[in-house]
Amino acid sequence: MQEARPVALITGAAKRIGATIARTLHAVGYDLVLHHRDSASEMNALAAELEAARAGSTLVLQAELSHFDRLPELIAHTIGRFGRLDALVNNASHFVATPIGVITPAQWDTLFAPNAWAPLFLAQAAAPHLCATRGAIVNIVDIYAERPLREHTVYCMAKAALAMLTLSLAKELGPEVRVNGIAPGAVLWPESGKPYVDRQAMIATTVLQRIGDPQDVADAALFLIRDARYTTGEILRVDGGRALAI
């Protein structure tokens, strides 16, 4: 019998870094569960592209990650379709300014849902299945989890929670499951939030003197999922050395 292919669930997989991670894992033989919230057209295009390369290798799931019931449901659909789960990539995120003085509870909920709440409850639901395959979790964190960005207090807090979740899960789910994070630097400019009018200044303070590429993050994710067999509880900076100057 043909050996079953490994399976990865990626949140926020329709575009940008999530889509690049999806293409990278798919190219090395992973079947994929691709989550999106609102990006249906981009998601359908990506799934069609991957299905053309290998039929029957993807499952597309739409869900609002702030709805608790949808989180274990994503895992249940994954197991129902593929029978296993080898990797969970918590990539979905939201980024918006929250200057002190005008922060609202709604902004807190909006930022914490994809950046901290969903990764926790997805990991909790996925844990038994990842234990069975001795799988891995990769959380997409941020340099701002440890070095605050002005006027983005709630986002920084949410990513700091995700960084601590990464460490806590590594300790709690080991030795069966490895849990690591990636803290990207200037790889893609945000679609919303900080306008980054100071892009050239940011590049100038980056040791490698250039912005990165989504593929840099995807390659790091592949390494942490497949190859870093003695690495857990680490947050890998993929930032061109920018953290040295912040």
Q: Which residues are catalytic?
A: 155
Q: Which helix (H) or strand (E) holds 209?
A: none
* DSSP 8-state code for residue 150: T
Residue 188, classified by CB atoms within 10 Å of its CB into exposed (0-12), middle (13-18) or buried (19+), is middle
Q: Rounded CA gap, 107 and 91, in Å?
A: 19
Q: List 7's β-bridge partners, or say none.
A: 31
**CA–CA separation, 15 vs 119, rounded Å?**
19
Q: Which residue has the tokens 């460490």?
A: 167
Tokens describing residue 195: 């306008």
CB neighbour list of residue 157: distance below 8 Å, 6 or more residues apart:
112
What's the alpha-carbon Rg for the chain, to the nearest Å? Answer: 17
The DSSP code for 178 is E
Note whether 36 and 10 are within 8 A (CB).
no
Q: Is 38 helix (H, G, I), strand (E, B) or coil?
A: coil
Give yes or no for a contact between 19 and 44, defined as CB atoms under 8 angstroms apart.
no
